[in-house]
Chain A
Amino acid sequence: MGVALTRSAQWTAVGHGAKTLEVTPLNEAIVKEIIMFVESFIYKYPQEANYVFVEPLEWKTNLDPSAFGSGYAVSGTTVKSEEVDKNGEPLLYLSVPQIKIRSFGQLSRMLYIAKNMKLKEAQACIEDYEFSNGCRAPPWRQIKGEICYVLVKPHDAETLCVTCSKEGVFLNGGKTDDEGQINYERKGEIYKDLVTLLKEKSAIFSENMSKQEIKFSEQPQKDQPNEAPKEEVAITHKASVTSRKSTQEKNRINLGRSQLTKRLEPSLNWRTSVSSKESRNTLRDTQVEKHGGKLEKSRSSVSPGRAQLIRKSVEKIEEIISDSSSESEEDEEQPDHRQEANADLPSEYWQIQKLVKYLKGGNQTATVIALCSMKDFNLAQETCQLAIRDVGGLEVLINLLETDEVKCKIGSLKILKEISHNPQIRRNIVDLGGLPVMVNILDSPHKSLKCLAAETIANVAKFRRARRVVRRHGGITKLVALLDCGKHSGEPAQSSLYETRDVEVARCGALALWSCSKSYANKEAIRKAGGIPLLARLLKTSHENMLIPVVGTLQECASEENYRAAIKAERIIENLVKNLNSENEQLQEHCAMAIYQCAEDEETRDLVRLHGGLKPLASLLNNTDNKERLAAVTGAIWKCSISKENVTKFREYKAIETLVGLLTDQPEEVLVNVVGALGECCQEHENRVIIRRCGGIQPLVNLLVGINQALLVNVTKAVGACAVEPESMMIIDRLDGVRLLWSLLKNPHPDVKASAAWALCPCIQNAKDAGEMVRSFVGGLELVVNLLKSDNKEVLASVCAVITNIAKDQENLAVITDHGVVPLLSKLANTNNDKLRRHLAETISRCCMWGRNRVAFGEHKAVAPLVRYLKSNDTNVHRATAQALYQLSEDADNCVTMHENGAVKLLLDMVGSPDEELQEAAAGCISNIRRLALAIEKARYS
């Protein structure tokens, strides 16, 4: 009901206060529909009619108290129903002119009493309902983009008061004491939708959702033909009845949902009107509504409030879980553009309309002629594509696919194949149920039909919903079966109308799989259908137009671990490497991309080298015009250079110099990879020298001012690696690189922060007059110390490492002590993360060197947890810890704590370690503890 009201009803332009419905036949129809529904409710659903609403429906009525007869207590200007809830409150309460009703039963009776004023009453009730733009938020909050507010009570947490705004969903300050008011201020992070927020806030919710997700994804997708708004009202009515909890609260939530799903812009000037475009939107909502209805039935175990919340995002969740696309969102569904009814239509429109008429009313001969003639229009042109759709051609074309006439099917697919390049048409084809029909054609004995169907599927399956439909109708298995045709690649083309070569069938199959493989679940389905060995076999051909979709599919799928293992097992790397030498740029790009994906694996990196793939990669670096290919090639080089042997090869091929040349004037996708590769190369002295000699440091430092997170992570890593050379460090210092790195500690992304902090360590180590340099950054020390409040382990470990280096300078150590470094470090001591333990222990031992810090660490209870570090399995942790304990043992109280926590036995074991530093520190610590014990004994007896 809510949906129909928001979408279909025609509201007047917004003034101040309550909105009114325009007087239009449509509105009247909707209101009458509602009245009919409510009036008959008491007879049709007597049980539900007694349910009491959580909050009453309330409006200004024109009814006179005297109209109420038996069943009501009338006194002057007030009316109370004799029917009451369990607290004794009347279910109808009228105090002129305000009326409050709290059950469907009373609503039915009220309408009966209202007689000829029904329409007015119903309208008044609806108009007091919400803002015409669909927002529930008050106007002054709508300006801030807020849509509505929801109260959620999870099983395992306090009631959450949530604001839904166009930026996303967040917790607000909750309900304030005075009735119904909300503290609007944001009190937490912004989440992209309600489900994400709730998953974060409630463990039980998150768990239940993950159980339910499977169920959602199995909900069949029903595509409905266009329906009149009237019928929609009926449908939503049914939904609300089945849900058995018809409260106003719920209606509100429904409204909120439709708003959320559609990400509407709240605006006071937005007025809904019924046009063909709008009615399509309504249609979508109706679908969602139905999904919801079914869902609720299947979730009887969950409390209604939660079920409703979940419903809000059913569609979205379904998208998320079943199709996590590895692709960018270019293929997202676009809004529908219908041609304006009264716009000047091009002549093609009328010609196409005529042809569609012949398609509808012609026999096979006339149909084929009309199809052939339609094919002669410029089907690449949007005007023609949309004209076919707008005159109802898509329905006819899809219907033809279900006939037995092979020629008609061929003709129809030839057209669908062309016009499905248009994103809107793709969506329409899916809406009209075209995909299952095409999937069935994949089984046809006629190869040319199979090819055309597969090619059309390849075009249509460019967006998630379509890919899901293909999978659900068994399309992936059938497409994989097409790949199996490639066996007899040598046969000649046949003359028959319906035949084509087997390789062509396989090619079309691969083309469709390529499109489908952008969804995670499809990747899995391809693998399960045995697609990988078939793709591997097709990869051995030398036809470019076959290789591109095959490698494209593999590259897409290589995002999955399963595939990477299979790619290695099926000896695919060899062929990928071979095709790097192809003449075709697109093929080279996909091969490089696939190598990029797979080369996370060490063995694969070796395989690339052993099959001679590094040289073609290096030489492809020299052609920089094709940026997509360059990004793929540099990506492959980056991942390959994680292996030392590969770096040596790249150096041989002079790739490092070329990479340095690519540090300027390249798009970010390329830069990320180039810098990543250089960062790996920089792990070796020889390469660092090369990078410095060919002027790589300056452009690297220049990149420190960027904003791309991935790029900054790589740049900081590379700059840090360069700073290991004192000579390079001088250049970095001169270019003010250290200050830039330091500023990145303020970056919001933890990865960038940590990477910058790691990079700062060698800078401080190798800078001349490092102490002075560090002091020169105003507020820098305080910033670093405060990062110890982070909750990211990697950030903490890296910041500890930076502090260790800073603290080498006494003056700076004094400053950070003043900033409270000791209590902050002590707070971190209880951790199981060995990386953090190691760096934390190193910092603590370094910080002991100032004032009474030793004592302070003891006071802040850092000593006992440190002792436990000695039980770690990591020798690095042992060494750092022993050194820290040695420093701390200079204080008598700390010695006592260590002794109490069993440090002596642990340290005694360490004394036997082959690591000399560890030996020495452990021994020193024991000797301090022992000396204290002796002193005590001595004191006792003297």
Chain B
Amino acid sequence: MRSASELVSCLLLLVGAVTAQTGQPTHYERLLPQWLTGIIAVSGFLLLTFVGFLVKKVWCEESSGRNASMESVRDNEYVESNPYVGNLDNIRWRTACLTQTN
């Protein structure tokens, strides 16, 4: 992820440096063809998204692991008091976590 953002910032710096040049012909020269910069940008973006997705998945599993143990304790009490309610709270919490991953 660091290398991708480094690459992107390098690219931006390059563009900035290129535009600051003087004494060039009327068209300023691009180092890379335009479609290539586009592709590089998209790959960088997809990489970042993938990494972000992984991070979020790991984070959610951590918290859900912690909370699941709390839930099971509460569930036992529930079962004793009202056998018909079941694991509704646990299910609701899990869907909340899933929807929170957005």
A and B physically associate: no
Residues of B within 8 A of A (CB): none
List chain A positions with a Cβ less than 8 A from chain B: none
